[in-house]
Amino acid sequence: METKTDEIILCNFGGPTKEEEVKPFLFLLFDDPLVIKIPFAPLRTFVAKRISKKRAPESNHEYAKIGYSPINKMTQIQADQLQTLLRKGNPNTDVHVINRYTAPFAQDVIPKLKFDGGRLFIVTMYPHFCHSTTATSVREVDRAIRDRFPSQEIDSTRIYSWWHNQSFLEYSTGEVKKKLDELIETQTEGPITVMFSAHGIPKRYRDKGDPYVTETTGHFHEVKRKILAQLDPQQAERIHWNLCFQSRVGPVEWTKPYTDETIDELAKSRGGHLLIYPVSFTSDHIETLYEMDVTYKEQALEGGFESYHRVMGANDDHRFTECLADILQAHGL
C-alpha cells in the first residue's frame, strides 16, 4: 500500500532573531493589507517602507534588550514536539512551520510538501480568530497552495479559532490558577488583580465585525468562571478581574480598555498585587518580554501596586503540544 502522509502546518507571526531582521520584519508587517488597511498596494508599500524605517531603531533597541524574539524557536520546538507526539499514532505525519513575517515563508515551504494523498491540516498559533493574524496567515498559505496547484481546490482542514477547545481552556485556566494560587499563598494581604491582556486592534475593525474581541472576551469569562468555581468565596472576594488590550500604535482609537491606562488607574485606586496574563500570546514575544515585563511592570510598581507577576506564554510547554494535538484530533486528524 502506498504511503500517504498527513501534513500539518503550524502558522505563526514570526519575529526578528537578530538586528538585521528587525526592519524587514516590520516592513512585511506594515505592508500587509490585513494589518494596514490601505487597499492601493503601491501607497501601502510606500507607507510600510517609511514606518518600518522610522520604527526600526527603537524597535531594535527593545528587541536587543530581550535578546531578540524567541517566537521562531518556540514555534519550531512546538512543531517538533507535535510531530513526535502525532507520529506515535501515525508514523506518516509531518509538521511544518510557516511564519507570516519572517522565514520560513509559505512560498518556500509549500513547494516542499509531499501532497502524496494524505491529509493537510492548517492551524495557527493564535487561539482567537483575527483578520490581522489568523486570516492573513491562512491566506498566505492558501496563496502558496494555489500557486502550486493553480487549477484545483486542494483538500484541507483549516482551523481558524480554537480558544474554546476544552483541553486548551483547561490548560489556560491551569496556568492562571497556578500563579494565582502562589500569589494567594505568598501575599496574604491586599487585593489581587487578575488582568488578562490581549493584543489590541483598531476599534473600527471590531465595529466592522472582526470576531477577535468577542473571542478574547469569551476566553476571559470562561477562565474566570472555571477559576471562581474552584475558589472558596472568601478567597474570591480578594480577586478582581480585568480584560484589557495592549500594544496600540498609530493615531486611531483601538479596542478598550487599554492595558497601560488601566494599570495606571488601578495602581492608584486599588493597589495590591497585579497578575497579568497574556491571553492572546502562545509564545512570549516583544509584547510580553518587553512591554509587559519591562514597561508595564515599572508602571505598575511605580504607580502603586505592591507586586507584579506574570503568567508565561505557553512557549515550549509539552502540555500545550498536547492541546494542539487535541485540537487537530477534534478536527478529524
Residue identified by cell 500545550 is: 320
Give 240-299 as a 3 state SS string: EEEEEEECCCCCCCECCCEHHHHHHHHHHHCCEEEEEECCCCCCCCHHHHHHHHHHHHHH
Nearer to a second copy, 22 or 159 (CB): 159
Beta carbons of 244 and 296 less than 8 angstroms apart: no
- Nearer Cβ to a second copy, position 176 or 243? 243
For the bound state, the minimum distance from the C-beta of residue 118 to a second copy, rounded and expressed in Å, comes to 11
- The interface with a second copy within residues 157-186 (CB under 8 A) comprises 157-158, 160-161, 164, 166, 169
Query: Is 215 among the residues that bind a second copy (CB under 8 A)?
Result: yes
- Among candidate residues 132, 112, 224, 228, the one with its CA nearest the CA of residue 169: 224
Q: Would you say 196 and 242 are in contact if contact means Cβ atoms under 8 Å apart?
A: yes
What string of DSSP letters covers 50-65?
HHHHHHHHHHHHHHHH
* Residue 116 binds to a second copy (criterion: CB under 8 A): no
Per rule CB under 8 A, is residue 209 in the interface with a second copy?
yes
Q: Does 3 sit near a second copy (CB under 8 A)?
A: no
Question: Should residue 214 be labelled a site residue for a second copy when binding is judged by CB under 8 A?
Answer: yes
Question: Which of 51, 123, 138, 195 is close enough to bind a second copy by CB under 8 A?
Answer: 138
Give how far Cα 30 sits from Cα of 154, 204, 258, 285, Å. 29, 18, 22, 18
Per CB under 8 A, the segment of 212-220, 265-273, 291-299, 313-321 that binds a second copy is 212-220
Q: Which is nearer to a second copy, 120 or 266 (CB)?
A: 120
Residues of this chain that bind a second copy (CB under 8 A): 129, 135, 138-139, 142, 153-158, 160-161, 164, 166, 169, 209, 211, 213-215, 217-218, 220-222, 243, 330-332
